[in-house]
Amino acid sequence: MAILLGVNNIRNKYEFLCVVYLLVVVNCQTDKKAKDEQKDFECPHQVGNGNFADPNTCRRFYQCVDGYPYLNRCPSGLYFDDISKFCTFKNEARCGPIATTIAPITEPPTDLAVKCNPAECQLPYCFCSKDGTIIPGNLNAEDIPQMILLTFDGAVNLNNFEHYKKVFNKKRQNPNGCDIKGTFFISHEYSNYQMIQKLASEGHEIATETISLQSGLQDKGYEEWVGEMVGMREILKHFSNISKSEVVGMRAPFLKPGRNTQYKVIEDFGYIFDSSIGVPPSDLPVWPYTLDFKIPHECKSGSCPTKSFPGVWEVPLNEHYVEDYEGGHCPYLDQCVLHNHDPKEVFEWLQEDFSRYYEQNKAPYMMPFHTNWFSIKELEQGLHKFLDWAATLPDVYFVTITQALTWITDPKTLNQLNNFEPWDCQKKKENTPPNPCNIGNKCALNFKSPDLNFTDIRYLETCFECPNQYPWLGDSGGTGIPGKDNYVPDNVK
């Protein structure tokens, strides 16, 4: 800064050249230091790909691609969270490096799923292919719709609700004249249940993430998964009037699936699909598949199911990237680092990423977001440019995950979609919740975290009566009776 200030006081050509020399030396030293640090950083051998904390600062992180570290900087004002593995606000970021240990596999390797056998896997109950890239029904790509799956993770509240309304603005429509739809994986803390009911009443799909968003859930037991997922479904019923039969999908926090345990919960409690498994960067994207057989790609998280779960659908998250890996690669779009926050360049980046699907096998193009994406106006503007452009394509449909799976189980050609009832909007679904109240109850509730010795206040907004205390694990209704919930699977009496 002193050097820069001195430029204003330069008296002659000699002093000017000295200042320029000093600036060049400082910049070169800075660049050299960054390059030296990048050279010194080694990607973990047991992982290979992924994002890792910079040991020197929370403002940067390394993205390892095929074992080589690329140094990235978080956008202005954001810091790298070494648990969630993305850039977020300073008060939310857990600065790293945070030591991790690979959890031992405690489940015995029995009843392991075998590789796909198409002769024994027929729609509508089973779908697989050798590498996961085959189009359902053996249809040609030019004859089928390109589905786009807009998904949103976490709490719904004042931080993001208005942004979501701009995405689903009633002006963007599918070729059949219906408004575009999305899927919301809800976590409990800080959620506004009046807003969630509004989204559900407009035909968007509501699915569960977890109540507490605890890390390490992939290593927990059956009861913990039931408490988190089924408890979250109960909270949605109590405070957003959403029928349990309408909440049929789940996503594990931080995309860390719970090995066989999580999928046993899916099987026992009537869920239809999971969307937690990431697919490593691939030239050809993977279609959703059932877990009758072994997953058809590398398990990126290391905690995928190994047993067979017939009829349970997995809707994988294909990695997002462009050909030269500008921005790296990421399952969530807000985890890719787009250094030039120019709306046009963001739009072009999304276009190129989308074309890998649209110009090949038309696997559903999932666009997963955290609220982080909408905190940077250039990213949001670029997204809107992409959505407006995609909505003009005659074969592109923005649908919920359940709507996409309905098509996959009964594939239809483009000329049959105007009469495809699951995508029709003329008749409101029977179990769709009614419009929420105009003014919700704003509840200030006592909450005592199990790992803390003091009670604080948490806030909740709903169209229903305020509960006695803040709903939490073991007490989804907020009765104030610890351990009140005792879930019994519908198929276990």
* pLDDT value of position 49: 62
According to DSSP, the β-strands at 50-53 and 205-208 are: unpaired
Residue 136 dihedral angles phi and psi, to the nearest 5°: -60, 145
* pLDDT value of position 388: 98
pLDDT tier at 399 (50, 70, 90 boundaries)? very high
**In one letter, which amino acid is 481?**
I
Better-scored residue on pLDDT, 230 or 433: 230
* pLDDT value of position 44: 76
* pLDDT value of position 67: 67
**DSSP one-letter code for 250:** E
Question: Is residue 150 over pLDDT 60?
Answer: yes
Q: In the CATH scheme, what architecture does the domain 118-423 have?
A: Alpha-Beta Barrel (3.20)
The lowest-confidence range among 85-99, 171-185, 314-328 is 85-99
Q: What percent of the chain has pLDDT over 90?
A: 67
Question: Is residue 398 over pLDDT 90?
Answer: yes
The lowest-confidence range among 27-36, 43-52, 321-330 is 27-36
Mean pLDDT score across all residues of the chain: 87
Query: Of 264, 286, 285, 288, which is closest to residue 275 (Cα–Cα)?
Result: 288
Contact 475, 481 (CB under 8 A): yes
Cα separation of 215 and 232, whole Å?
A: 16
β-partners of residue 278 are 317
* pLDDT value of position 25: 43
* pLDDT value of position 22: 42
Better-scored residue on pLDDT, 47 or 217: 217
According to DSSP, the β-strands at 50-53 and 60-65 are: antiparallel
The lowest-confidence range among 8-12, 175-179, 369-373 is 8-12
What digits encode the pLDDT tens for the residues 268-296? 999 999 999 999 999 999 999 999 999 99
pLDDT tier at 100 (50, 70, 90 boundaries)? low
Query: Of 441, 444, 399, 445, which is closest to residue 423 (Cα–Cα)?
Result: 399
Q: Within a 10 A sphere around the Cβ of 368, how many other Cβ atoms?
A: 23
Question: Is residue 217 over pLDDT 50?
Answer: yes
* pLDDT value of position 47: 52
The mean per-residue pLDDT over the stretch 226-235 comes to 97
Better-scored residue on pLDDT, 45 or 438: 438
Query: SS3 sequence, 187-247?
Result: CCCCCEHHHHHHHHHCCCEEEECCCCCCCCHHHCCHHHHHHHHHHHHHHHHHHHCCCHHHC
β-partners of residue 273 are 249, 313
Cα separation of 438 and 421, whole Å?
A: 31
Name the 3-class secondary structure at 312. Answer: strand
Q: Does an H or E element contain 154, and which? A: strand 146-154
* pLDDT value of position 45: 62
Name the 3-class secondary structure at 89. Answer: strand
pLDDT tier at 450 (50, 70, 90 boundaries)? confident
β-partners of residue 153 are 185
Cα separation of 131 and 285, whole Å?
A: 10
Question: Is residue 19 over pLDDT 50?
Answer: no
**In one letter, which amino acid is 230?**
V
The mean per-residue pLDDT over the stretch 445-451 comes to 83
Supply the pTM of this predicted model.
Answer: 0.81
* pLDDT value of position 6: 41
Cα separation of 289 and 136, whole Å?
A: 10
What digits encode the pLDDT tens for the residues 170-210? 999 999 999 999 999 999 999 999 999 999 999 999 999 99
Residue 68 dihedral angles phi and psi, to the nearest 5°: -105, 130
Could you identify the residue written with the tokens 């907004």?
461
Domain ranges across the chain: 1-40, 118-423
* pLDDT value of position 340: 67
* pLDDT value of position 46: 53
* pLDDT value of position 491: 54
* pLDDT value of position 38: 54
